[in-house]
Amino acid sequence: MKQEIKVTDKLIKIILKNDNIELHLLNVGASIFKFIYRGVDIVVGPKKMSDFIKPDHYYGKTVGRFSGRLFTNGLIIGEKQVELPAYKGHATTIHGGKNGYSKRYFTYHQSQDNEAIFTLIGSQKDDGLPGDVTLKVRYTLKADTLLVEYFAVATEKTLINITNHSYFNLDGSKTILDHSLQIDADKYVVFDDQFNVLGVSPVNDTPYDLRKPTQLKKPLNRLSNTAFKGFDNIFLLAEEGEVNLYSPQSKINLNISTSYPSVVVYTHNVSSPDDIAYFQKEPYCGIALECEYEPGGIFYPFLNDAVWDKDENYYHFITYRLNKA
């Protein structure tokens, strides 16, 4: 079942619904506003829609043309040297910069009852990167599964790295400290507190060893005194590697599979400035599991650069499978 609601002249809400899932989507940022599984909203976001759509919020949004942090100086794509505007005075910009896809109103297209399609043309004038990019985002609901697909093509050789920035909390608790997380990743990217990549390291004997289901409070206790106060890390997925998040309280398990080579884990290490629906706005109220290319990889030969040629077809998917014990 699908319902389309015109909220304002610009803002459209689409509700996809089946027996177990009710998914609320917005055309701003082609975003996930609510993701209700068997009566439990499993995503974290501002309580008020007016706060949710604020440009500086990434909750549930599609982020691009590049996701994650990117240094603003010394960027070379093909034979072009590209200078990007800094983000709030930092040496890096984040999630597509001030005109990133999360801030844009996508065009919504009529489609089948179990899917929603959004499109956007991103100009090189928007983000400073070469070429214009035509992006299509498709959400498809089937039984206990949500499939998110990204299709893109550019008019010049350029950087493309698209993901969804939902924060998950599977039981409505104040924090996700009692959730367990498992990631099929033997290695993670090491960087300093200025996000300079220092290399790739095995996860063995570190808080980043999540190859077995691990209660999050344990590694977060070890990371609480670090510069980032928690997880803000890139994990290099094993071939066909998956991610599993589980709540012992709700007994809901979220399984994530993807065509991307890595996942960025961020545990909402700071308080939110806005009231969060259902949850306290304290640190660790949710966890972002962003499947993507390694952010900033273009600067490092041992990481994926996420550079795509002119007219090359970009396609990636993220699949969210839910079950309840």
Cα–Cα–Cα angle for 241, 270, 193, rounded to 5 degrees: 70
Higher pLDDT, 274 or 127: 127
Decide: 96 and 292 in contact? Cβ < 8 Å: no
Give the alpha-carbon dihedral of 281, 168, 142, 20, to 10 degrees.
-60
Which residues are registered as beta bridge partners of 44? 167
Looking at the whole model, is its pTM more than 0.85?
yes
What CATH number does the domain containing 51 carry? 2.70.98.10
Please give the structure tokens belonging to residue 24: 């609320």
Structurally, the chain folds into a number of domains equal to 1
Chain segment 231-245, per-residue pLDDT in tens:
999 999 999 999 999
Domain housing 251: 2-324
Is it the case that residue 271 has pLDDT exceeding 80? no
Q: State residue 272's pLDDT score.
A: 64
Kind and range of the H or E run holding 67: none
Q: Determine the distance from the C-alpha atom of residue 41 to the mean position of all C-alpha atoms in its chain, rounded to a whole number.
A: 17
Residue 97: C-alpha distances to residues 69, 93, 176, 317, 320 (Å)? 9, 6, 29, 23, 27
Instruction: State the chain's mean pLDDT as an integer.
Output: 93
Residue 61 one-letter amino acid: K
Listed residue (70, 47, 46) closest to 58, CA to CA: 46
Name the pLDDT band for 65 (thresholds 50, 70, 90): very high
